[in-house]
A = this chain, B = another copy of it.
Amino acid sequence: MKLQNTAKLIEQELKTVLSEDILQGEIVRPDHLMQAMRHGSLNGGKRLRPFLVLETAKSFNGSSVAALKVATALECIHCYSLVHDDLPAMDDDALRRGQPTVHIAFDEATAILAGDGLLTYAFDVLSADTTPLSAEKKIKLISSLTRASGLGGMVGGQALDLAAEKTAPDEAGILTLQQMKTGALIRYACEAGAKIGDADNFEHETMSNFGRIIGQAFQLADDLLDVTSDAKTMGKNTGKDADRGKATLVALHGADWARAKLVELAEEAKTLLHGMNRDTKILEETANFVIFRDR
């Protein structure tokens, strides 16, 4: 499956769940808020995390319906974090993918609530009867998602990132921050795919390590592109990190070091995949795409 196909599938699933007719709520779904949740999630993202869930689940013979539900829940978490990160009190961004951010298109209060709604909705999807997994598997997926996205994961990473603008962390600090802020959800995607399928303990551990490496490489590639690419190619402003005086590994060690490190991470990822007796061709291609992308 291609990344673009996953993106379409996920957009379709999000549209379905965030529609008046289908979304199950106790009483009423305020239309204005639901539109804001749609605006914050149906924005043409790359859907890399969902793709990793779907492809990993496939490698381990997991149900594709279940994988699509888990992928949608994970994307809700990713999207809510973008809606909240864009707020004036946080990164104060008015545009995302060329569209006004939620607090610009609606208002700040609605953006806060839309983020809260998407976050809550992720756990709705994971616990829903329509997600075809055993209660035991659902609980494991929910528990690990809370760990990946909460105080000890993404939310904590965002707090460290905001603090980093003042404190200038060292290399270990940068790695921790990035592992939490962006790495944790990417790693979760790979672990979740293994959990949905029939991965044994060794394979689950392998996919967890694969996810950690992909997460690290994703961020390093991002930081490198911020230095070496231009706004036209990227579809967003570049050089932002340097302008904000943001500490990145590229700022610390330079672009050549980063390129060499990416080659190293790609090798590590490949070796991990080859250590399992599974069809992981697409995961290998994905690793290369994440690591050597040009935008």
Q: Please measure, in the bound complex, the distance between the C-alpha atom of A32 and the C-alpha atom of B160, giving whole angstroms.
A: 9
Minimal Cβ-Cβ distance residue in B for A175: B27
Distance (Å) between the CB of A159 and the closest chain B CB? Answer: 4
Q: Please measure, in the bound complex, the distance between the C-alpha atom of A164 and the C-alpha atom of B7, giving whole angstroms.
A: 37
With beta carbons under 8 angstroms apart, the residue of B24, B30, B108, B115 that contacts A163 is B30
The answer to whether A119 touches B119, judged by C-beta atoms less than 8 angstroms apart, is: yes
The answer to whether B136 touches A120, judged by C-beta atoms less than 8 angstroms apart, is: no
Distance (Å) between the CB of A152 and the closest chain B CB? Answer: 2
A121 at the B interface (CB under 8 A): yes
Mask of A108-134 contacts with B, CB within 8 angstroms, 1/0: 111011011101110110111100001
Q: For residue A162, which residues in chain B have a CB less than 8 angstroms away from its CB? A: 109-110
Q: For residue A87, which residues in chain B have a CB less than 8 angstroms away from its CB? A: 109, 112
Q: Please measure, in the bound complex, the distance between the C-alpha atom of A179 and the C-alpha atom of B30, giving whole angstroms.
A: 13
The answer to whether B26 touches A180, judged by C-beta atoms less than 8 angstroms apart, is: yes
Q: Please measure, in the bound complex, the distance between the C-alpha atom of A162 and the C-alpha atom of B33, giving whole angstroms.
A: 11
Most chain B CB within a 10 A radius of its CB, from A23, A119, A145: A119
Distance (Å) between the CB of A171 and the closest chain B CB? Answer: 15
With beta carbons under 8 angstroms apart, the residue of B134, B139, B149, B158 that contacts A127 is B139
Q: Please measure, in the bound complex, the distance between the C-alpha atom of A295 and the C-alpha atom of B261, giving whole angstroms.
A: 63
The answer to whether B113 touches A147, judged by C-beta atoms less than 8 angstroms apart, is: no
Mask of A12-30 contacts with B, CB within 8 angstroms, 1/0: 0000000000011111111
With beta carbons under 8 angstroms apart, the residue of B27, B112, B142, B147 that contacts A26 is B147
Mask of A151-169 contacts with B, CB within 8 angstroms, 1/0: 1110110111011000000
Distance (Å) between the CB of A107 and the closest chain B CB? Answer: 7
The answer to whether A150 touches B135, judged by C-beta atoms less than 8 angstroms apart, is: no
Minimal Cβ-Cβ distance residue in B for A148: B26
Q: For residue A27, which residues in chain B have a CB less than 8 angstroms away from its CB? A: 152-153, 156, 176, 179-180, 184
Mask of A26-55 contacts with B, CB within 8 angstroms, 1/0: 111110111001000000000000000000
Given known contacts A135-B136, A163-B30, A180-B28, is B124 in contact with A146 (CB within 8 Å)? yes
Distance (Å) between the CB of A204 and the closest chain B CB? Answer: 15
A143 at the B interface (CB under 8 A): yes
Distance (Å) between the CB of A29 and the closest chain B CB? Answer: 5
Q: Please measure, in the bound complex, the distance between the C-alpha atom of A151 and the C-alpha atom of B23, giving whole angstroms.
A: 9
Given known contacts A135-B139, A143-B124, A146-B127, is B28 in contact with A84 (CB within 8 Å)? no
A58 at the B interface (CB under 8 A): no
A138 at the B interface (CB under 8 A): yes
20 contacts between A and B (CB under 8 A): A24-B147, A25-B150, A26-B184, A27-B176, A28-B176, A33-B151, A37-B151, A80-B116, A84-B112, A87-B112, A90-B109, A90-B112, A110-B159, A113-B158, A116-B150, A117-B150, A121-B146, A123-B145, A127-B139, A135-B138
